[in-house]
Amino acid sequence: MLTIMIASIIITVGLGFNWIIKEHIKTAGALKDKSEAMILAESSFDTSMFAILTGKLTQDGVAFTDDSLLGASQIIANGSPLWVNENIILRLQDANGMVSLAANGNTLTDNSASDLKKLINTIAPGKNADEIVDCINDWIDPDDLVRTNGAESDYYRMIGAPYQPRNFHLQYLEEILLVKGMDIQLFNKLKPFITMLRNEGFNVNTAKPELIVAHYGLSSDVIEPLRQHMKTNTTTGAMEALNQIGVDTLSFSGTQARPTEFFEITLAVRSGESLYHIKSGISIRDTTGFSPHSVYYWKEG
């Protein structure tokens, strides 16, 4: 009986040690994968920056001078994925193909305010676009004067919010969730089309279908055919895609637009079971005098 008891204890302890060792090996493997993914992501980002800085801007992206760097001769700057290899996906988004929430003085620019209203009416037609834009401008401006459809500190006090308008430029995208009229569902719909980077006008060649439709006041029925055509015909521009699906573009402005100096770069890198992301807002023209480019924000993990 004693022998059986001792044997049982030894087996139990042995199984416990075996489990601990397996967990340690598993944890060590996960840490190794994450470390390798992080290093690969940062080196890939540096390679991507070099390819972009030494490349040539086209109407819809960047043509690389050395196609061996990223395994491609160009990248389209509308957020479409470029598979560098089976473990690395690079996306480049021109700020001119998005709606900028960067303030011009004390408000959104007129073009940004107009495009934001149109975008909301296109992707969330039940929302009050005029109210949301007025409330964003009231959040940004330094005074306490309420716009026609806006909201200032009195409104936020009245609803018991533990904050008041910043009365300064937005500091991050998610900040608009604090603004009257905005909710998480609408924010998630808007997020692919808005940026904190400045832009210099609208570039149809680097915009996504929803924003193209909104900007030109087209029917929302055009979105899906346009998306499918742009997806399957990557060598043709957005204007050609619109013409192919029967939209008359002769009166459209901005058809010869080009990318701005501001871009959003997104990298997704896989190593083993680990997936690592880098998302950064950059300018390809130096504003500091210390480097060939500027970085405005950086998220990784």
Query: For position 165, which CATH number holds?
Result: 1.10.40.60
pLDDT given at position 258: 78
In whole numbers, what is the pLDDT of the chain averaged over residues? 88
**How sure is the predictor about 17, in pLDDT bands with cuts at 50, 70 and 90?**
low
pLDDT given at position 257: 77
Are 7 and 88 in a shared domain?
A: yes
Pairing status of strand 103-104 against strand 99-100 = unpaired
Top-confidence residue, 255 or 223: 223
pLDDT given at position 119: 98
Look at residue 239 and tell me if it is in a domain. no
pLDDT given at position 2: 62
**How sure is the predictor about 1, in pLDDT bands with cuts at 50, 70 and 90?**
low
pTM here is 0.85
Look at residue 86 and tell me if it is in a domain. yes
Residues 189-230: tens digit of each pLDDT: 999 999 999 998 899 989 999 999 999 999 999 999 988 888
Question: Residue 27 is part of which domain span?
Answer: 2-97+259-300
Which residue's entry shows tokens 């997806």? 231
**H helix intervals, the chain:** 2-53, 110-123, 129-140, 153-158, 184-190, 209-215, 223-232, 238-244
Q: What is the mean pLDDT of residues 60-84?
A: 90
